[in-house]
Chains A and B, each alone.
Chain A
């Protein structure tokens, strides 16, 4: 589990309005919880208790059930991500080409573990499953940017781009 953030919730009225629209659009759909959560995460970036409570009240689903769903799926996050989210592919193709070492190196440099965010809110780090760029193995992404054919000594260089 990721470390708890102390960042207070600062959702806006605009965000809440969008969330209500999303929920309304799914009223007749019996399996709507997943798409609603996915879009809620797009709106807020993560799924804190304030957001889950709105969904719980509006959809009449117990809060615990929503929380159980959120904590089941790796893509849902209870905590905000860093400004730059680093994802290291630990899929087989990347792993056999040494992505584990790259992941270790990042943890060492950033001083954070899986799912954690640096104290300055700049970087968060996660391991991810195969993103399908096996031809470039080993691969990591920083937000939308993809870096392939990595070696451990390239890690620092990549991070420097985002300082």
Chain B
């Protein structure tokens, strides 16, 4: 147990240490000359960052630098595409895609001799004027980090580093200086809305949970960390990079609504996040920021972890609670809402990780500070996981109201290989595909809904001209069919039928009337399903039907897949004018569908080859082997 004074003491001592990781800070004062930060998030760990950290520590000892250079394993920096990532402070030099074998060179040249290894730096930071720091790159420049403020900055396994960054200050303020009603009012005033997808005002949720059942003997605070949208990893990054912020915010929520117990429901597929949460909870209990009489007040609060077991539907609030109770994760009808009858039928609030990550900052900086960011109805910032056909795959946090163009072109570095932007998918299986004409719409909750998608938890998948929109819709429906809990009829059977209709379309077996039937079924499932999963499952279909109807029609009428994705509709043909008759295609064809014809194009020596469409299995091997690019697909 630590007293408030002791915690304040830790903050004062550690703060200058941490300031070293803030280039140009005048407050920096560390016992180390340099801090080397290595990403320990899932992305970089998967590509070997922990081996780099080990190598670095060994190399530092070998060079007698262990007292001068501190190695810090942080959470995600965001630029996953460039992982493994290493940053050297105080200068903020940014190494990307390094390997353990590069470590000796970096230690020798940079840490010993003071000359950064230019060829290993992120190319954008190497300029004629010198080396730019991380924060000057286009990826970071436009970002505004609130929820992610500690990610990639602190060691998530060290509570002192969290405290150094004003950690647990908000909780201390709340329990010592604020009434629960004031806390709720602050959150209400801030305009914070749920970051998990729905966008329900967080303060409103808290207020209901505080007041709706006045004589409740038990209430619960839950954290939804069952991030299951394919391609989304915002919550994972916060949990891996800054687990204490979630614990602190949940405690604040507990104080606000009058709960003493919290649960974090986290995906078991996130082992690093689970491990760091376990460490954080143990440390918080040790320091007394969780447990009885927090900071000497009457307020007691504890948190337990619950692991998901691979069911996307458990991200739905009632399903999540059903699952914590030890059941099949099937949603329950609402009303009653969880604020009235939630976990074990007691008043419960459930917020997602990113929502919580904003809370301590709102308490410390005030509602006005928060509401000054963002748009009229969507305040603050939003974290997006950029994925798909984009250069800078990774995690970004931008003020609400930033346009898609800014996120994709400026921060995301645009689309690789000179391809054209075709669509951006937000909201995962619940969201929709945004077409190029909405490239400049400011992103916020209401605008996204207006253009047929939704915020969702923040997955943002970019697609280019090579992606078939019918295929994408089918992909999401396949996901929904797999993840439907099977409780209600519209979702259980309806999504399956939708998937089958889409499958028919991609095989060229559908007629125009089927598109109307599909659309009708979509609207039916939206209006009749039991929970959010079913109610939003048709969105990927509806948004693509609306924005890319011509592509559907091409599949149905012309029996063509314009993007060349749907195998059944593909045809490989040899352009006889270009074919040089080398026969490489025929040699590589696994089913012997290619043979030499009679026609010799003008200027060519040998007869062109011909593909027998009835034998072709559309594997594309011929095309990838054709040197004069004479084979086309369409």
Chain A contacts of B389 at CB under 8 A? 96
**Nearest opposing residue in chain A for B309, CB measure:** A73
Q: List 16 A-B contacts (CB under 8 A).
A: A31-B344, A33-B327, A34-B326, A35-B307, A38-B309, A68-B328, A73-B309, A73-B329, A132-B42, A132-B233, A133-B42, A133-B46, A134-B231, A135-B80, A136-B47, A146-B47
Residue among B83, B309, B311, B475 with max Cβ neighbours from chain A (10 Å): B309
A75 interfacial by beta-carbon distance below 8 Å: yes
Chain B 263-301 interface mask (CB, 8 Å, partner A; 1/0): 000001110000000000000000000000000000000
Least CB distance from A125 to B in Å reads 16
Given the complex of chains A and B, what is the CA–CA distance between A129 and B79 in angstroms? 21
Query: Contacts A129-B230, A129-B310, A134-B387; is A75 near B268 (CB within 8 Å)?
Result: yes
Chain B 377-413 interface mask (CB, 8 Å, partner A; 1/0): 0000000010111000110000000000000000000
Q: Is the CB of B459 within 8 A of A92?
A: yes
Number of interface residues of A (CB under 8 A): 35
B193 interfacial by beta-carbon distance below 8 Å: no
Given the complex of chains A and B, what is the CA–CA distance between A38 and B79 in angstroms? 33
Chain B 213-235 interface mask (CB, 8 Å, partner A; 1/0): 00000000000000011111100
Least CB distance from A89 to B in Å reads 9
Given the complex of chains A and B, what is the CA–CA distance between A89 and B627 in angstroms? 32
Chain A contacts of B47 at CB under 8 A? 133, 135-136, 146, 148
Chain A contacts of B80 at CB under 8 A? 133-136
Q: Is the CB of A92 within 8 A of B428?
A: yes
B536 interfacial by beta-carbon distance below 8 Å: no
Query: Contacts A38-B309, A134-B393; is A33 near B230 (CB within 8 Å)?
Result: no
Chain A 85-124 interface mask (CB, 8 Å, partner B; 1/0): 0000011110111000000000000000000000000000
Chain A contacts of B328 at CB under 8 A? 68-69, 72
Chain A contacts of B393 at CB under 8 A? 93, 134-135, 137
A139 interfacial by beta-carbon distance below 8 Å: yes
Given the complex of chains A and B, what is the CA–CA distance between A32 and B309 in angstroms? 14
Q: A30-B344, A129-B310, A135-B81 are in contact. List 19 more A-B contacts (CB 8 A).
A: A31-B326, A37-B309, A73-B311, A73-B329, A75-B269, A90-B230, A92-B230, A92-B388, A96-B388, A97-B388, A129-B269, A130-B228, A130-B231, A131-B42, A134-B80, A135-B82, A136-B46, A136-B47, A146-B47
Q: Is the CB of B463 within 8 A of A129?
A: no
A76 interfacial by beta-carbon distance below 8 Å: yes
Query: Contacts A30-B325, A34-B306, A93-B230; is A134 near B311 (CB within 8 Å)?
Result: no
Number of interface residues of B (CB under 8 A): 50
A155 interfacial by beta-carbon distance below 8 Å: no
A74 interfacial by beta-carbon distance below 8 Å: yes
Given the complex of chains A and B, what is the CA–CA distance between A38 and B475 in angstroms? 29
Given the complex of chains A and B, what is the CA–CA distance between A32 and B236 in angstroms? 24
Residue among A31, A69, A73 with max Cβ neighbours from chain B (10 Å): A31
Q: Is the CB of B310 within 8 A of A34?
A: no
B461 interfacial by beta-carbon distance below 8 Å: yes
Chain A contacts of B190 at CB under 8 A? none
Q: Is the CB of B307 within 8 A of A96?
A: no
Q: Is the CB of A95 within 8 A of B309?
A: no
B535 interfacial by beta-carbon distance below 8 Å: no
B425 interfacial by beta-carbon distance below 8 Å: yes
A51 interfacial by beta-carbon distance below 8 Å: no
Q: Is the CB of A96 within 8 A of B324?
A: no
Q: Is the CB of A76 within 8 A of B309?
A: yes
**Nearest opposing residue in chain B for A93, CB measure:** B387
**Nearest opposing residue in chain B for A146, CB measure:** B46
Chain B contacts of A130 at CB under 8 A? 228-233
Query: Contacts A30-B344, A93-B388, A93-B393; is A131 near B269 (CB within 8 Å)?
Result: yes
Query: Contacts A95-B475, A139-B46; is A74 near B467 (CB within 8 Å)?
Result: no
B43 interfacial by beta-carbon distance below 8 Å: yes
Query: Contacts A31-B325, A31-B326; is A134 near B268 (CB within 8 Å)?
Result: no
**Which 8 residue pairs across A and B have the least CB separation, nearest first?**
A135-B80, A74-B310, A93-B387, A33-B326, A92-B231, A73-B309, A75-B310, A91-B230
The contact of B43 among A38, A74, A76, A133, by CB within 8 Å, is: A133
Chain B contacts of A90 at CB under 8 A? 230
Chain A contacts of B43 at CB under 8 A? 132-136
**Nearest opposing residue in chain A for B323, CB measure:** A34
Given the complex of chains A and B, what is the CA–CA distance between A33 and B42 in angstroms? 28
B609 interfacial by beta-carbon distance below 8 Å: no
A142 interfacial by beta-carbon distance below 8 Å: no
Chain B contacts of A132 at CB under 8 A? 42-43, 233, 236, 269-270
Chain A contacts of B269 at CB under 8 A? 75, 128-129, 131-132
Least CB distance from A26 to B in Å reads 10
Given the complex of chains A and B, what is the CA–CA distance between A74 and B312 in angstroms? 10
Query: Contacts A34-B323, A75-B268, A146-B46; is A135 near B230 (CB within 8 Å)?
Result: no
